[in-house]
Amino acid sequence: MNKINLMINGLPGNVAVTIAKHAIKDKRFSLIPYSLTGPDIPDKTHKIDAFKISLIRPDMRVKKIREIKSKYDDIYTIDFTHPSSVNSNALFYIDNDLPFVMGTTGGDREKLKNDINKGLTPAVIAPNMAKQIVGFQAMMEYAANTFPDLFKGFSLEIHESHQKGKADTSGTAKAMVKYFNKLGLKFSDKDIKKERDPEIQKNVWKIPEEYLSGHGFHTYKLKSGDGTCEFKFEHNICGRDIYVDGSLDAVIFLHKQFSIRKEKNYFTMIDVLKK
């Protein structure tokens, strides 16, 4: 297989940088030395070892993408930018025929899905790119569809902790809410308790200090009405490396979809895992 031209957007953000470091060494990909960045980023370039990447601010992206596409054929993109940019970035990718993996959480997810379905550009959309967590979500979805109201009468608490710089509530936690509600709970996204204080994370959550700047801890606790039964599910991730494989696998998946141009354009990580 020829190398896939890959553009990773969101540098110098931590997740984008982590994926770019791996993509540079991955023989399946040719990393394009450009990245869409936010309007508040003052730097014009970002270096990963000896590899220099030009940063493109929003006001320059339309002009620059024409130049980039004249140099590189069949570009695929991974987006780990900012929640406020999700929908505008998606429209940009669709308008410029750039198949994309949207790892950024937030935005109007229903509009995101509708925009993709209206266009001709395939995309993988997921609140979490970690394959193991996606598998866990798939198990919960199966349980919700197969055993509705299994936990009727129970109460639910959802706690999530991420690094201080994460702007929005965990997309993974939000995705889990719909499964628990099918299982008989009555819970709102607004009831999710999020933690962003490093001192509490270190002393109460016992998150290793070296991972305070990059982690994702989630706890889902169910308790019966009389308090005699309790169930707890947890998935705790230190660092960001776990998101790399899923993101790059999603690009490979899109490459196959794009080559056959099926009617369906909107895909999730479940589709990627079932490949």
Q: Side-chain half-sphere of 212: how many Cα atoms within 13 Å? A: 15
- Catalytic residue of the set 82, 166, 174, 182: 166
End-to-end CA distance of the chain: 17
Q: Tell me, yes or no, if 182 is annotated catalytic.
A: no
Nearest 10 degrees: CA dihedral of 77, 81, 86, 88? Answer: -80
59 near 39, Cβ under 8 Å? yes
- Catalytic residue of the set 46, 82, 131, 162: 162
Q: Tell me, yes or no, if 27 is annotated catalytic.
A: no
Both tokens of 210, joined, read 């070296």
Q: How far, CA to CA in Å, does 235 sit from each of 2, 50, 75, 157, 257? A: 36, 35, 34, 14, 31
Please list the active-site residues.
Answer: 162, 166
